Structure 1
Amino acid sequence: MSPSDIDYKEVLMRAPVGMCVSRNRVIQFANPALEAMFRYGAGALDGISFEPLYPTAAEFARTGRRLLRLLGQADAYSDERIMKRREGELFWCHTSGRSLVSRNPHAAVIWVFEDLSAKRPVASGLSAREREIAALIAEGKTSKVIAKQLDLSPRTVEMYRARLMAKFAARTSAGLVHKLMSFSAA
C-alpha cells in the first residue's frame, strides 16, 4: 500500500483517541472517539464551539487566551486539563494541538484528546482556578512557571498552592502532586 492509497479521513475516523479539527475554536469535524469521550452523538460536535466542553465559560476564555499566546510561539501545545462531558461530568483529559496556520493559532488546529479519568479522577470541591493550577502542579511545574503561563504573580500561585495543600492534607509539594495524581472522588 502506498501513501497515495491511504484514505486519511478513514484513518481519522478509526483513530483510537479523540481527534478533531477546529477553526477559531469551533469544531469542524470530530471523530467517533471524541464524540464518545464527551458523550455526544454522531456529528453532534461538528460546528459547535469548544465552550460547552469546558467546566465553565471563564475556563474556556482563559484557556483560549493562553493557547493564543503559546500556539503563537510554537504552533504546538499540550497539557492536561479538566473537561466536561455532555451531561456535566468533569474528567481529566490530556490535550495536544498543532496549529495548521503559522502566526494565526486559532485559525485551524488539529486536536487530540485522551481521557485520563480511569487513572486520575477529578477532585470535587475545587474552584475553576484551583483546578487550573492543580493541573499544572500535577505536571510538575513550579509556581514561577505556572505564574508566567497563567499571567499571575508567583505569590498568587503560592497562595493557591497552599490552599490546595490544605484541601488535600499534603505536607509537601511532592505529597500534593501524589495526591492530585491519585485522588479518588469517592
Structure 2
Amino acid sequence: MCVPQTDASYAIDYELIFQHAPVGMCISVDRVIQSCNGALTEMFGYGDGELDGKSFQLLYPTLTEFLRTGDRIIPIMNARGRYSDERIMRRGDGELFWCHVSGRALDSTVPLGPGVWTFEDVSEKRPVTAELTPREREIAALLVEGKTSKVIARETDLSPRTVEMHRAKLMRKFSASTSSELVHKLVGVAR
C-alpha cells in the first residue's frame, strides 16, 4: 500500500477556502455573525463585511420567526450537536427566498454559542410564490421536512387542530387539493 507523500510546500489555506466556498458560510457566537464569506453576503444582498457583528435576526422575515427558530434549534442541537432545515429567509432588499441552513456547535454544551453555519439559496428549485404569514412560513418549512401535524404541533407548541387550520390555509393559497400536492408545490415541483 502506497501512501502519497505530502508536498512540504503545499499548505492548506483555510481562510482562502472559507472565503471562496461555493455556499454561504459564517462563524457565529450567540446567533451573532462574527465572520462570513462573500457567498453569504452576496446571497443576502449585502456588501463585504456588512454582516459581521450583526444578529442573524437581520436575515429572517420577522423577529418572531427568528425567535421561534432559535427555540426550535436548541433541543435538536443539544441532542445531535448539529442542525439543518430549509426555511424562508429575507434578503437585504426585503425579498423572501427559500434557504437550506445547516449548522454545528463548536462547543456541544452551548448549542447556540460558537458555531459554523452554511446557507444555500434553493429559491430556483423552490420559489416563494404566495404571501404567507410568519406562522404559515414556519408550518410550511416543517411540512416540507415531512413532519405530521402532531409532530409540528409538538415542536411549535400549537394544538394539532391549529396546525391543521394553517395547513388548510396553505392548501387554499397554493391551490392544492391534497396535503401531498401542497408539499409538492411548496418544494417547487409542479403536479
Contact 1:97 1:110 in 2 (8 A): yes
Q: Where does residue 135 of structure 1 map in the other structure?
A: 141
Contact 2:130 2:174 in 1 (8 A): no
Residue 165 of structure 1 and its aligned partner are, at CA, apart by 1.2
Q: Letter of the aligned partner of 2:131 in structure 1? A: G
Q: Letter of the aligned partner of 1:136 in structure 2? A: L
Match of 1:87 among 84, 93, 112: 93
Q: Where does residue 37 of structure 1 map in the other structure?
A: 43
Q: Letter of the aligned partner of 2:28 in structure 1? A: S
Q: How many residues align?
A: 184
SS at match of 1:182: coil
Select between 16-25 and 129-138 the one with higher mean Cα deviation: 129-138
| Bigger Rg over Cα | 2
Q: Letter of the aligned partner of 1:70 in structure 2? A: I
Q: Letter of the aligned partner of 1:103 in structure 2? A: T
Name the % identity. Answer: 59
Residue 163 of structure 1 and its aligned partner are, at CA, apart by 1.5
- Tell me the distance in 2 between the aligned counterparts of 1:2 and 1:27: 35
- Tell me the distance in 2 between the aligned counterparts of 1:76 and 1:112: 11
Q: Letter of the aligned partner of 1:55 in structure 2? A: P
- Tell me the distance in 2 between the aligned counterparts of 1:183 and 1:127: 22
Q: Where does residue 69 of structure 1 map in the other structure?
A: 75
Contact 1:122 1:183 in 2 (8 A): no
User: How does the TM-score come out when normalised to structure 1?
Assistant: 0.93
- Tell me the distance in 1 between the aligned counterparts of 2:161 and 2:104: 32
SS at match of 2:187: helix
Q: Where does residue 174 of structure 1 map in the other structure?
A: 180
Match of 1:28 among 20, 31, 34: 34
Residue 72 of structure 1 and its aligned partner are, at CA, apart by 1.6
Contact 1:30 1:43 in 2 (8 A): yes
Q: Which runs of 5+ in 2 are unaligned?
A: 1-5
Contact 1:70 1:77 in 2 (8 A): yes
- Tell me the distance in 2 between the aligned counterparts of 1:144 and 1:9: 44
User: How does the TM-score come out when normalised to structure 2?
Assistant: 0.90
1:9-37 CA-partner distances (Å, limit 9, x unpaired):
11111100000010000000000000100
1:68-108 CA-partner distances (Å, limit 9, x unpaired):
22212211000000000011000000000001111211111
1:146 and 2:152 are equivalent in the alignment: yes
Q: Which runs of 5+ in 1 are unaligned?
A: none
